[in-house]
Amino acid sequence: MKKVTLSTLQKKKQEGTKITALTAYDASFAKLFDEQGIDTLLIGDSMGMVLQGHKDTLPVTVDDIAYHTACVARGCERTLIIADMPFMSYATPEDAYKNAAKLMASGASMVKVEGGEWLTETIFGLTQRGIPVCGHIGLTPQSVHVFGGFKIQGKTEEAAQSLVDSALALEKAGAQLIVLECVPIAVGKAVSEAVAIPVIGIGAGVHTDGQILVMHDMLGVSANYMPKFSKNYLQQTGDLRASVSQFIKEVEAGEFPGDEHSFK
């Protein structure tokens, strides 16, 4: 299969074809996901919870992400690889440039940062230096203590408009992709329609341009609770490869997420 690039994802948005994404942390699973045809793999700071056993993502370091990015890159031939920028690794533009360069050198094709309009200078600077950026808005796990827990965002008209404004600001600054997490279905639709770049949802309803799940949730093996927005595909299929194929099939058909995985 042809290598997936940012142009591939942009074309999918324009054609109305759903983008599929999972997290990955090692070469073996990356190879399996790659062979099944997943579009994008994220080396997420979710590893803090699903791999390292922490209660949140905050203890994850740049070295952690760089190590696992290199592992994933060795297992992939075609999938687009995105590396998370962990907590406080992009507190200033200069921090972001240095740490993003390390992740790109480890094998990433793009880095992901959490936050809204305050990141525009950083995103502009990264893209000017040849580093593609994915924004992440809605529930941003690195801000868990600000939110008072892992809570749904965008529940009021004002909060929903703020997310639309943030998405537009990130796009204007140069972001080429957005992850939108834990918002009502209507907000997922509004954000996706407001920007020209692809929006990949996680707990954001079926109307986003694609879907991403944490692989441990998708396989039903997370040490933590199973989020409402996830689905145990391994339980459904009984086979690792079939579970990934089923996830891709349901996302592309608009069957996942269903109402039971979404927030009203």
Tokens 């994008």, residue?
40
Q: How confident is the model at residue 243 (pLDDT cuts 50, 70, 90)?
A: very high
> What's the number of domains the chain is made of?
1
Taking only the tens place, the pLDDT of each residue in 91-123 is 999 999 999 999 999 999 999 999 999 999 999
End-to-end CA distance of the chain: 37
Our answer to whether residue 193 is catalytic in this structure is no
Contact between 174 and 133 (Cβ < 8 Å): yes
Containing 89, the helix (H) or strand (E) segment is: none
Query: Which residue is catalytic, options 114, 171, 181, 252?
Result: 181
Which CATH number covers residue 26?
3.20.20.60
> Which pLDDT value is given to residue 29?
98
Is 1 inside any structural domain? no
Q: Is the residue at 59 inside a domain?
A: yes
Dist. CA 125–CA 11, nearest whole Å? 25
Supply the Cα-derived Rg of the chain in whole angstroms: 17
Domain range spanning residue 184? 6-261
Contacts of 159 (CB under 8 A, 6+ apart): 153
pLDDT value for 123 = 98
